[in-house]
């Protein structure tokens, strides 16, 4: 459904991804695991048209999407919940959700979709008229994911959805991500937290220093092995 081949990208003259190969099949949850600075956010930014592609290809449903702008990608069915700045603190829960549907904000279906999203996130419905800044960390992350769903994506990109959350809030969020997958959305998430990612992923890649060093079904991945790879990156 989504495939990057020999993808090189970065900022200005600084190349961050040095030839990444990765694919996400329809219905999968794929996790890209990597330590801080590995290039995880850059990878999502690149797939979502926010970072310069130097060479290589990115195909979505069989067509090249290199050079397309984020709003064009949203129309094609991609959505992104970035790690930072993913909700508007001064807006209410409902207002944030409506903003998530900005590509079709005049569509009368948006109201109905807000209610649909609340079925997946009843804890947000209770707080529908509260400003986002009054939510707990876990609720805010749920809002970020819910907001990304408002464009009715077929593929959802998630940047470290559980970072900064308590263990309890983190597992609650991962269980929501499983619900999102069951609703038919394909998911690519990036994580530093290997154990958390393995709660939801079908398949994983390990990204170190802008290179994929390992690909594996989640069930065959040894956490200790990934931890060793992470440590080698710090050395
Ligand atoms: N806007 C930017 N301009 C220049 N370099 C950046 C920018 N954002 C990230 N980088 C660099 O790219 C590398 C990878 O960063 P990032 O993709 O944020 O890693 P991760 O998300 O895995 O922690 C780091 O060396 C970082 O300093
Ligand atoms: Mg990051």
pLDDT tens per residue across span 74-117: 999 999 999 877 899 999 999 999 988 877 666 778 888 899 99
Mean pLDDT of 217-223: 93
The tens digit of pLDDT for each residue in 150-196 reads 999 999 999 999 988 899 989 999 999 999 999 999 999 999 999 99
Measure 43 CA to ligand 2 centroid, in angstroms. 9
**For 111-138, what is the mean pLDDT?**
93
Q: How far apart are CA 217 and CA 221, in angstroms?
A: 7
Q: How many CB atoms lie within 10 A of CB 180?
A: 23
Pocket test for ligand 1, best of 9, 12, 14 (most atoms within 8 A of CB): 14
Neighbours of ion ligand 2 (CB under 5 A): 40-41
Q: How far apart are CA 181 and CA 145, in angstroms?
A: 12
4: Cβ below 6 Å to ligand 1? no
37 C-beta closer than 6 A to ligand 1: yes
Cα(117) to centroid(ligand 2), Å: 26
**Into how many domains does the chain fold?**
1
Q: Which domain holds residue 9?
A: 2-234
CATH number of the CATH domain containing 186: 3.40.50.300
pLDDT at residue 105, rounded to an integer: 62
The beta strand positions in the chain, using DSSP E, are 2-11, 14-24, 29-33, 52-60, 63-64, 78-81, 155-159, 186-191, 203-208, 211-217
Cα–Cα distance for residue pair 148/74, rounded to 1 Å: 10
Q: Are β-strands 63-64 and 14-24 bridged in parallel, bridged antiparallel, or unpaired?
A: unpaired
């Amino acid at each position: 459904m989504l495939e990057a081949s020999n993808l090189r990208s970065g900022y200005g003259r600084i190349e961050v991804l040095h030839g990444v190969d990765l694919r996400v099949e329809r219905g999968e949850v794929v996790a890209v695991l990597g330590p801080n600075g590995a290039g995880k956010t850059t990878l999502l930014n690149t797939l979502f048209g926010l970072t310069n592609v130097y060479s290589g290809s990115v195909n979505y449903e069989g067509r090249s999407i290199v050079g397309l702008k984020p709003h064009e990608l949203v129309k094609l069915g991609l959505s992104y919940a970035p790690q930072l700045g993913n909700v508007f603190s001064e807006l209410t829960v409902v207002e944030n959700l409506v903003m998530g549907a900005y590509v079709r904000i005049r569509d009368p279906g948006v109201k109905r979709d807000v209610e649909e999203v609340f079925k997946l996130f009843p804890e947000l419905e209770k707080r529908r008229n509260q400003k986002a800044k009054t939510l707990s960390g876990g609720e805010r992350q749920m809002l970020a994911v819910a907001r990304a769903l408002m464009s009715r994506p077929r593929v959802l990109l998630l940047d470290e959805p559980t970072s900064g959350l308590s263990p309890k809030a983190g597992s609650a969020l991962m269980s929501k991500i499983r619900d999102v997958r069951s609703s038919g959305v394909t998911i690519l998430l990036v994580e530093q937290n290997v154990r958390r990612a393995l709660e939801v992923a079908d398949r994983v890649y390990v990204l170190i220093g802008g290179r994929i060093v390992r690909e594996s079904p989640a069930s065959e991945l040894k956490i200790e092995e990934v931890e060793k790879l992470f440590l080698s990156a710090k050395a």
